[in-house]
Amino acid sequence: MSSTNTIALDDAYVRLSKQSVDVLEGKKALIRVDFNVPMTDGKIVDDSRIKAALPTLEYLLKNNCSIVILSHLGRPKGKVVEELRLNAVAQRLQELLGRDIEKLDACIGDEIQNKKKNLQPGDILLLENTRFYYEETHNIVSFARELAQHMDFFVQDAFGCVHRAHASVEGVTHFLPSMMGLLVEKEFEALKSVFVTKKKPLTLLIGGAKIDTKIGVIRNFLPIADTILIAGGLANTFFNAKGYDVKESLVELDKAKIALEILQDAGEEACQIMLPRDFVVSKEISENAKTRILNRKANEEMEDGEKILDIGPDTIKRFSEVIANSQTVIWNGPAGLFEYTPFSEGTKALGKAIEENPNLTIVGGGDSIDAIHRFGFDTTKFSHISTGGGAMLEFLEGKMLPGISVLKKHKTL
Ligand code: ADP
Ligand code: MG
C-alpha cells in the first residue's frame, strides 16, 4: 500500500461523527446515499440499503439539520426512465424514518433551488435519480455546483458508490465542506482494520465468477495474507492454467498467464494459495441435476459436456480448517453455483465456517451476501458485512477511492 494511488488509511478524513453539536445545529445537509435497491414491477424487493442510511439521517435530524438526499437507481444512462424514478424509495424511506419526505422530480432547476433556499430544520427533500442526468456520471462541474447550491455541507454516505468519480459523489465536494457519514465511516473502519491490525493468520476466501474483478484483490493480498483460498468459477481459470481440462466449465482462457503469475508471486511472498482438489461436476444446471465428485489430484478427468459447479467434500474440509484457524477472514464470492441446491454445499459449508469463527470476519459482494441470507446465517456473527460490492473490492485492492479521498481536505464548516 505504498503507491500514491492508494487510499490513505490514516485518520485525516473529516467525519460527521466528530462534528460538534453547535456546528451542525440548524445547518442544511446535502447527503449522497446509495438507494440503488433491487426492484421488481415497481416494488422494492430488498430495502437493506435504505435501512443502512437511517443512522446518518437520524443523526442529522437529531442535530436540527435540514436534509437534501441524492441517490441513483439502476442505469438510466443520462435519460429519464419512468421505472427508475425514486418514488417507491421515497415512500419506503418515509415509513422507515417516520417523517414526511418531499420527493421532487428533478435534481436541478429553479423550483429545486427555491425549495433548498427555504429549507427549515427537520425538512427532508429527496431529489430525483441523479443518473437521469448525463452530467452525473461525467462529473460535470456546473451540475455539481448546482447540486451544492444553497447547502451548508456535504455528507458522503453512499459506500456502494465511493469508487465512482461522479458529480454527486466527488464533484460536489469541491463546493462544500465534506465529510464521511456514519455508514461510510463504519465501512472504512472495518475494512481498514484488515490492513492496520493485520491479525494473523489472515485468510482471503475468494470465489465467484469473473477473475478480472478479483485479480487486483488477490495481488494486493499476496504480501499480507497467510492463505488465499480460491473457489467458485474463479478456480477453473487456475485449473486450466495448470493444464487441467475443465471441459464446459466457466473459465477465462485468456487469463491463464495471469493465473500462473499469481501462483508464482505467491511462492515469493510466502503466501499459500490453495485451490480445490475435488469438485462437483454435472452436465446440467438444474434443481435435480445428476452430479459426481471428481478429484483433480487423483488424476480423475472430466467428461465431455461436464461443468465444475461446486467444490467437493475434501476441499470443504481443508478450506474450513484454514478458516477455523484464522484470526482474520475476508470473504468475497460464492464457492459454487449456490443458487441451485446440488451446487450449494460448498458455499453453505464455508459460510458456516466463517459464521462460527469468532475473530475478525468480513464479507462483501452482492451474491455472497445473497448466499448469507439464503442459507439463514446469523448476520450478527460476522464482524462486518459490506454494503458495497465493487467499492469493497477496490478498497481491498488498495486503490484510491475518489469519493473518500476527497474527504481529506480541511474545509471548515
Ligand atoms: P459477488 O457478487 O459475491 O462478488 P460474483 O458476482 O463474483 O460474486 O459471482 C457470483 C456468481 O458466481 C454466482 O451467481 C454463482 O452462481 C457464480 N458461480 C460460482 N461458482 C461457479 C461455478 N463453478 N460455475 C459457474 N458459476 C459459478
Ligand atoms: Mg455479483
The pLDDT profile of the chain, 413 residues, written as one tens digit per residue, is 444 577 777 778 999 999 998 899 999 999 999 999 999 999 999 999 999 999 999 999 999 999 999 999 999 999 999 999 999 999 999 999 999 999 999 999 999 999 999 999 999 999 999 999 999 999 999 999 999 999 999 999 999 999 999 999 999 999 999 999 999 999 999 999 998 888 999 999 999 998 888 999 999 999 999 999 999 999 999 999 999 999 999 999 999 999 999 999 999 998 999 999 999 999 999 999 999 999 999 999 999 999 999 999 999 999 999 999 999 999 999 999 999 999 999 999 999 999 999 999 999 998 999 999 999 999 999 999 998 889 999 999 988 899 999 998 666 67
Are 239 and 163 in the same domain? no
Are 205 and 145 in the same domain? no
Ligand 1 neighbour 246 (Cβ under 6 A)? no
Are 134 and 271 in the same domain? no
Total tally of structural domains belonging to the chain: 2
Looking at the CA of 333, name the nearest ligand: 1
Are 234 and 327 in the same domain? yes
Please report the pLDDT score of residue 371 as a whole number: 95
Going by the DSSP 8-state scheme, the letter that residue 101 receives in this structure is: -
Please report the pLDDT score of residue 388 as a whole number: 87
Helix axes 345-356, 366-374, angle to 10 degrees: 90
Please report the pLDDT score of residue 339 as a whole number: 97
| Annotation says 210 is catalytic | yes
C-alpha grid cell for residue 285? Answer: 444446471
| Annotation says 364 is catalytic | no
Chain length of the chain: 413
Is 3 part of any domain? no
Are 350 and 375 in the same domain? yes
Residue that is last in its domain, among 152, 184, 216:
184
Please report the pLDDT score of residue 329 as a whole number: 97
Selecting among 18, 199, 366, 381, the annotated active-site residue is 366
Are 174 and 304 in the same domain? no
Top mutation candidate among 367, 375, 397 for ligand 1, by most atoms within 8 Å of CB? 367
| Annotation says 49 is catalytic | yes
Is 323 part of any domain? yes
Please report the pLDDT score of residue 165 as a whole number: 97
Please report the pLDDT score of residue 154 as a whole number: 97
CA distances from 282 to 62, 247, 296, 404 (A): 56, 11, 15, 44
**Cα separation of 365 and 353, whole Å?**
18
Are 294 and 391 in the same domain? yes
**Nearest atom (ligand 1) to Cα of 338:** 16
Ligand 1 neighbour 237 (Cβ under 6 A)? no
- Tell me the CATH number at 343: 3.40.50.1260
Is 190 part of any domain? no
Are 139 and 206 in the same domain? no
Selecting among 15, 27, 28, 49, the annotated active-site residue is 49
Is 413 part of any domain? no
Are 44 and 159 in the same domain? yes
Are 227 and 369 in the same domain? yes
Residue that is last in its domain, among 161, 184, 207:
184
Residue that is last in its domain, among 159, 184, 209:
184
Are 105 and 26 in the same domain? yes
Strand 28-32 vs strand 39-40: parallel, antiparallel, or unpaired?
A: unpaired
**What is this structure's pTM?**
0.91
Ligand 1 neighbour 364 (Cβ under 6 A)? no
Going by the DSSP 8-state scheme, the letter that residue 303 receives in this structure is: P
Please report the pLDDT score of residue 12 as a whole number: 84
Is 274 part of any domain? yes
Q: Where are the beta strands (DSSP E) in 108-148?
A: 124-126
The pLDDT tens digits for 156-169 are 999 999 999 999 99
Please report the pLDDT score of residue 105 as a whole number: 98
CA distances from 90 to 29, 50, 93, 308 (A): 18, 10, 5, 43
Are 53 and 89 in the same domain? yes
Is 228 part of any domain? yes
C-alpha triplet 229, 232, 234: angle, nearest 5°: 80
Please report the pLDDT score of residue 1 as a whole number: 40
Q: 318 is in which domain, residue-wise?
A: 198-397
| Annotation says 277 is catalytic | no
Ion ligand 2 neighbours (CB, 5 A) are: 366-367
Ligand 1 neighbour 179 (Cβ under 6 A)? no
Is 405 part of any domain? no
Is 2 part of any domain? no
The pLDDT tens digits for 65-107 are 999 999 999 999 999 999 999 999 999 999 999 999 999 999 9
